[in-house]
Structure 1
Amino acid sequence: MLLTKQLLAFRPDRTDLIFASKTFFAGMVALYIAFRLDLPYPMWAIGTVFILANPYSGMVSSKALYRLMGTFFGAAMALLMLPHLINTPWLFTLIIAAWVAFCLYISLLDRTPRSYMFMLAGYTCVMVVTNAINNMSSTTSTYTMFDIALGRVLEISVAVIVTSVVFSSIFPLHIGTAIQKRLQKAFDETQSVFIRLFNEKQSSRSAADLISAINRDTNDIHGLAVHLSYEKGHLKGMTKPLQELLHQFSLVFVNLIAMSQRLTQLDELEPQIRQQLQPIIQNILVFLKQKPDITIPSIQVLPENFHEDFQILIEQTHSRHAQIVLESLKMDIRHFIQNIYTVKFIWELIQKGERKLPDFITPLTTHYPSLHRDHGVAVRGGLAAFFSVAIAFAIWIYSGWQYGYMMAQMAAVVACILTALDNPIPTLKVFMRGTLYATLIVFVYLFFILPDVKEFWQLAIVLAPVMIYSVCLIPHPPLTGLGLPISINVIMALNLQNHYQISPIPSIDAAIAGLIGPIIPVLALYYIRAMSPDITAQRLLSAHYRAMYETLDLPFGSQLKIHVRGMLDRLGLLSNKMVQDQQVKIQINEALIETSAAIDLTRLQELAQHQDIPFALHEEIQHLRQKLFQAFQQLEKNPIHHHVDTQAIFQSLDRIRDLSFLLQNQDIQHRLWMSINNVRYSICHASMQAHLQIQATPHRENTV
């Protein structure tokens, strides 16, 4: 599939043409400056502009800064290694491969835009040392190793400065506006889901799908918010407050899932309650539309007569079990209202340009983001990069091919870029097609166009059609996989110099190296790093169950909320996986439901320590926690084909229920009933037929 139909059908719009024209203009300015400075490899100045290209000015500036920093560290490492190891090529090969692997490992764990810096530090080192070695073997080159390293830094610096200035001054498109629109969309969808939960009967799976989609979108916004510090838009400098808003917003998803579970129970226990809830829900919707009063703490904010209306409804409910579920629903709705109010409160402060949160809002932002990190995948990605670089260097050393250095460069770059993908093969196929198109374009330029070019303005004119069109493809997947390699590889293979003299043979060699180089990391990634979406999902599910048993020992409060935020981030990653196995899909939905009941695991521990809890009940709660711990450990080892003894957990829940009738403190008793109901239904996924039925009188055989 050469994507010819998509290419023929593609019609760039005004936004595409503005973006492509700005990119091409910045690229030619960078190339002109590199020519004037007589830098060793001017192609990297213009090539970097195309690599940095992005419609949003903030993303361009942040990526440019991290690229410059990564280039500096990579060049410094090259200067440190090469003089001492140049005479021991095999040791040098192993050390530089290890450096690339280490940098990529750190980059894969970071999961912020800063990760780009670590990745650049890895393969920039390869580029500097390979260019330096190639120049040492050349009889015409006068550049020293330091010249190569300094030139690389200067080429990137020129590209970074020019690109940032052009994109921030000529028709700038700010990421803040896009974030604001996506946030408003997330707010509207959240309200829509809340209304649908109470107006329509939703299955647990459909409700989880709706909420999971919003969670996935907010995870994306969290990463985009980093770029706000690098532009002059409406939300400039609001990265930290906005990320705190998103952390607080994530708690709303837990409330929505919990509400969907309680409503499903009530539909089977007393179906008429859903209709009776409508006046309360309408009152809540009117309340949530009001502008938040920033002088009132969120914990004090509830609709008028909220408690009274629910109390009347609870008293009209016939079964004790339905009363407990209704009380639990009331608590979930109360937390939902307060969390929504907190989010709107923070958003109001952001709109006013205020960064400091009031004292009554407990921040959930940690010094190091509470994001999921898979060390196993990072290690495998690092190993794939290690073998890619080592094999490419070995082929270069054994073959003595002069342009083997470009093959080694391409191997390092492709290994670093594609390792983040679960299965890089489909992406690489498109990339190779783009490289093939670029090779054909280079052939036309070398033999039919560039021999007649003698001035810079002529060069700009002949490059403009191809480069502008290819850059127009970049914002449009799947054409991105063609536009990016065409724009970059054409420039790299032409190896433009300020003497305007074209030597076809080196350029053809460079094009061949550009085709062969990616094959090495593809094979390494396929055998070492690549895994199906189903396998990746199972790894994420294992991490989810590890987080579930860690919840058992957490105290209620900000620490638990931060922990739940990390769990939701992991579930956001899960929802992005194109899973085929139906059982894995079911397990992903169940994981989201289980997260909504994580608070009940900590509440059980809190209740067990209460002074009014008898010793026998305390011991039974500890026994339940031990059973849950063992179950989560089994699920961690095998989240799909597991054999968890849920019957033992149900029996323990029944004993806790029976012992709880001896409690004199009604508040503690009801809180305990709510927690064991939620554990049974949301964590153990019991059906309503087997669900907890709270009896009017205790079983006599269970005594303290």
Structure 2
Amino acid sequence: MSVNLASIKQALASWAKQEGLTLLFIIQGLIAIFLTLWLAMRLELPQPAVACITVIIVMQPQSGQVLVKGAYRFLGTIIGCVAMLVLVALVAQERVLFLLVVAIWIGLCAAGAMAFRDYRSYAFVLAGYTATLIGIPAVQNPDAAFMMAVWRLLEIGLGIVCASVISACLLPQTSTKAMQQSVKKRFGEFTAFVLENLAEPDNQQQYEHSMLLFATQAVGWENLRNVSSIEDYVSKQRKQRLARLNQEFMQLTSRYAGLHSLLQRVRLHYDNDITTAIDSCLAIVKDTIAPYRGSSLSSQQAKQVADIIATKQENLRLQIRAESARMTVLLSEQQKLDFDTACELIYRLFDEMRSYCDTQASLLTEQHPYEHESTRFQTKLNPVGALITGLRTSFIVLTFGSVWIATAWPSGNNFAMVAIAISAIVTTTPNPARSARQITLGTFIACLLGSLVNLVVLPQIDGFALLCFALAPVYVMGFYLSTQPKFAGYGMGLLIFFTFGAVPLNPAVFDPQLVINNYISLVLAQAMVAIILTVIIPADNGYVWSRLNKEMRLQIPTLFKPKQAQRRQRFESQTRDLLSQCYGFAGDSPEQYKNLIRMSFAVQIIGHAIIEMEETEQQLLSEKSVNHDWLQQKEILKQYVTALFKRPNTIQQGILLEQLATMMDWLRPQISTLSRFESSPPKQLLSHLHIIRNTVLDSHLFNLSSVTSSEGGNYAA
């Protein structure tokens, strides 16, 4: 009996963490919408549907996200209102010119939302969205523009306030709690990944998928950290340590990428002797982290793990030296270099695991020296993508506005307004074309259900309670779909456009002809937006992929710029941000995606080696023991590395490999007298050069044919 009770409790706990949270979100959404609707009716706002749609757009499972998004959206609403009032005052008397100016404004807002892919994007989206709600109707009636701005501001503000209050007061799921859970799970998830990959090193697809997932998690972690620090004082006290933790996790994944690449090369080219020796060193790492595989790790436990790893590091060092001594007579010089480099990467990975756990353990205390460090996650601005998004959105505004003006369609204002609003909203999604297609189908279902409710159900009911019962089933279905990542677009389309047609005006108007006309305009607008976003430079267009690939490669030349503050932090964060930009549409272009993620591995490995090589140089400079000849060779290396990553081709590759060989030959005599696995700057420099050489030679990572084809042709030398 006790076993059954325990299993029931476990099942209930599992349900509460998954389906239970979904049910809670649906309940919160229903209460927020109906509270907003009731207040809008009581306050006699003319379009309660706008307030309810705002709730739908703002509502999120975590209360902190609702508060932050709501604040930015309200700011965007105010900016949009002010901008439209100025434009109406200046050019409303000439509607063609007015439409052109509105197109420019909304295009700028869409470009801003694309450029700033954090919470600032919501302000840009709402600035364009609000401008649409006010500007398009003002074309017909400019005298009423001011009152329309006031009503829209009140309606949107009411929706934001109601959503924020319900999310924060009704069994809130805080971002702080989500942050704490993420901190606990992250090390366990990484150790599980490492152990699985070492057990199945040939499963390249799973390896690439996991690394891409880690990259997107790093970007999401930064957003969650910012929200939780606003929401909770405890998180605010630890904001810099959480940023440091994210930075160290990115360094861990970069380090493992280098180790994985070298191990693949060793297994491919060498016999079992060297792989057995490396595996014996890896065994210490695997045995140490195996107990924490996939488990949650509290900050107190992290301190214990850091101490255990620190103890085991000496065992690892002794094991490496023993294997090095045993393998000395068996290996060639090239094999020795591969073995030594692999051992150094293993040791550094182990040490960085210790450092990560030590940083997690620092979260136990309110004050810590790490909190006084400045650690920033820097996103990579994509000006070309922002320009394309802005021009495409302006084109949609002009196209739909021109159709409306030319046809004098009574529902043409809805036709233009909906198309413009949705094109602005989907701008912030990873794959706007796919989102628009999903929203289109959701809109079609919303039209069918909305017509049924509006024309059949609403005339038969009396009172607010029955109105809520009539609307609730569709809202439940829509909110449920919106919580499922694969169907979120369908749910959003269903929720927004069911509300648009089914929620009555204030006072209510029964006009079947208007309802049908409006729903026809909704479906046509959505379908045309989906077609335009699919045809005109879609997110998975070859040009977009080539730009991402080029931006990824240019991360290496950027490392050589002098006097860079937080260079490592910027490099780690921007390479992940570039990867996260393609995550939403990776499945639409699998080959392009594979080329980009493999290039990202090459960039991360080589970038890591360059950064650490220059850190070693700084150590030598401080000791005044750096060789002038080395500095000259290093400047030549910079030029060749920059040339290869700016214009990759086999000639540049060959020149770089020759320079690397020259520098490695110059270093070898300086380390010949050192004992095995003895730390010294020349030996570290040789290891870094060897890592760069192996990566440039690795056709799986640095595939010149795929790079040049993605750029549209071969580059000249």
2:467: which partner in 1? 459
State the alpha-carbon separation in 1 of the partners of residues 128 and 261 from structure 2. 48
Cα distance in structure 2, aligned partners of 1:196 and 1:556:
37
Alignment map for 1:152-231 (pairs within 5 Å):
152-196=152-196, 201-202=201-202, 207-229=207-229, 231=231
Q: What is the CA–CA distance in structure 2 between the aligned matches of 1:13 and 1:422, rounded to whole Å? A: 25
Asked whether 1:78 is paired with 2:99, we answer no
The CA deviation at 1:170 is 1.8
**Count of residues paired in the alignment:** 659
- The separation in 2 between residues aligned to 1:17 and 1:197, in whole angstroms, is 36
Q: Call closer, same or farther: CA 1:156–1:34 in 2, change over 3 Å.
A: same
- d(CA) in 2 for partners of 1:483, 1:374: 29
Matched residue, 1:256: 256
Alpha-carbon offset, residue 113 of structure 1 = 2.0
Offset of residue 311 of structure 1: 3.0
Q: Is the 8 A contact 1:228 1:237 kept in 2?
A: no
Q: Is the 8 A contact 1:40 1:151 kept in 2?
A: yes
**1:441/1:682 Cα in 2 relative to 1: closer, same or farther (>3 Å)?**
same
Q: Which residue of 1 aligns with 2:322?
A: 312
Letter in structure 2 aligned against 1:374: N
Q: Which residue of the partner structure matches residue 121 of structure 1?
A: 127
Instruction: For residue 421 of structure 1, report the CA deviation from its aligned partner.
Output: 5.3
Q: 1:402 to 1:263 in 2, by over 3 A?
A: same
State the one-letter code of the partner of 1:303: Q
Which of the residues 276, 283, 296 maps onto 2:280?
A: 276
**8 Å CA contact retained: 2:118, 2:223:** yes
1:634 counterpart (617, 636, 647): 647
Partner of 2:658: 651
Residues 232-241 or 20-29, more deviating:
232-241
Listed as ranges, the matches of 1:180-579 within 5 Å are 180-196=180-196, 201-202=201-202, 207-229=207-229, 231=231, 241-267=241-267, 268-269=269-270, 270-278=274-282, 280-281=284-285, 284-285=288-289, 291=301, 303-318=313-328, 319=331, 320-350=333-363, 352=365, 354=366, 357-359=368-370, 363-365=374-376, 369-420=377-428, 424-494=432-502, 496-532=504-540, 535-553=543-561, 558-574=566-582, 577-578=586-587
CA distance in structure 1 between the aligned counterparts of 2:428 and 2:606, rounded to whole angstroms: 32
Give distance in 1, aligned partners of 2:248 and 2:488. 34
Mapped partners of 1:282, 1:479: distance in 2: 39
Deviations 1:182-224 (A, max 9, x none): 4444311211233356556557776555433333333333333
8 A contact 1:186–1:218 mirrored in 2: no
1:236: Cα distance to partner?
7.4
Deviations 1:552-589 (A, max 9, x none): 34679942343233223323444552264647625532
**SS of 2:507's equivalent?**
coil
Q: Is the 8 A contact 2:193 2:210 kept in 1?
A: yes
- 1:695 aligned residue: none
SS in 2 for 1:419: helix
After superposition, the Cα gap between the structure-2 partners of 1:501 and 1:409, relative to the gap in structure 1 and judged at 3 Å, is: closer
Contact residue 419 and residue 525 of structure 1 kept, 8 A: no
Deviation at 1:41, TM superposition (A): 1.6
Q: CA deviation at 1:536?
A: 3.5
Instruction: Name the CA distance, whole Å, in 1 between partners of 2:142 and 2:639.
Output: 66
**1:334 and 1:325 mapped to 2: Cα distance?**
14
CA 1:384/1:573 → structure 2, altered by over 3 Å: closer, same or farther? closer
TM value normalised by structure 1: 0.83
Partner-residue secondary structure (3-state), 1:645: helix
- Please say if residues 534 and 584 of structure 1, whose CA atoms lie closer than 8 Å, have aligned partners that are also in contact: no
**Which structure 1 residue ranges, 5 or more long, are not aligned?**
1-11, 138-143, 636-641, 688-704
How far 1:226 moved relative to its partner? Answer: 3.2
Deviations 1:311-348 (A, max 9, x none): 33333332344443344344434433443333333333
Cα distance, 1:198–1:414 mapped onto 2, change above 3 Å: closer
Give the match for residue 699 of structure 1.
none
Structure 2 CA distance for partners of 1:498 and 1:414, relative to 1, 3 Å: closer
User: Per the alignment, do residues 302 and 564 of structure 1 end up closer, same or farther by CA in structure 2, a change over 3 Å counting?
Assistant: farther
Q: Give TM-score scaled by structure 2 length.
A: 0.82
Structure 1 residue 56 corresponds to structure 2 residue 62 = yes
Q: Deviations over 1:363-412 (max 9, x none)?
A: 431xxx41122111110100011111122222222233333222221121
Distance 1:79 1:324, change over 3 A: same
The change in CA–CA distance for 1:238 and 1:393 in structure 2 (over 3 A counts) is farther
In structure 1, the partner of 2:711 is none
Residues 364 and 561 in structure 1, CA contact (< 8 A), matched pair in contact too: yes
Aligned equivalents of 1:514 and 1:482: distance in 2? 15
Mark the CA change 1:370 to 1:297 in structure 2 (over 3 Å): closer, same or farther: farther
Give the residue type in structure 1 aligned to 2:153: V
Q: 1:574-607: CA deviations, max 9, x gaps?
A: 4552264647625532431331231333455664
SS in 1 for 2:82: helix
Alignment correspondent of 1:87: 93
Residue 434 of structure 1 deviates from its aligned partner by 1.8
> In the TM superposition, what whole-angstrom CA distance separates every residue of 1:152-186 from its partner, at most 9, and x where no partner exists?
11111111111111122223223333444444443
Q: Do residues 679 (structure 1) and 692 (structure 2) align?
A: yes
The answer as to whether partners of 1:75 and 1:149 remain within 8 angstroms in 2 is: yes
**2:79 and 2:127 in contact (8 A); partners too:** yes
State whether residues 556 and 645 of structure 2, in contact with CA within 8 Å, keep that contact through their aligned partners in structure 1: yes
Question: Contact 2:412 / 2:521 at 8 angstroms: preserved in 1?
Answer: yes
In the aligned structure 2, how far is the partner of 1:106 from the partner of 1:298? 48
| 1:619-673: CA deviation from partner (whole Å, max 9, x where unpaired) | 44433332222111113xxxxxx54532222222222233334548963432332
In the aligned structure 1, how far is the partner of 2:564 from the partner of 2:609?
A: 10
Q: CA RMSD for the aligned pairs?
A: 3.6
**Cα drift, residue 104 of structure 1:** 1.2
Match of 1:271, SS state, is helix
1:449-504 Cα offsets, whole Å, 9 max, x none, are 22233422232222222323332222124433332222221221245133344222
Higher helix fraction: Structure 1 or Structure 2? 2
Partner Cα distance (1:583, 1:44) in 2: 41
Q: Secondary structure at the match of 1:529?
A: coil
SS at the partner of 1:597? helix
After the TM superposition, which of the residue ranges 524-533 and 81-90 deviates more from structure 2?
A: 524-533
- Counterpart Cα distance in 1 of 2:541 and 2:80: 33
Aligned residue for 2:369, secondary structure, equals coil
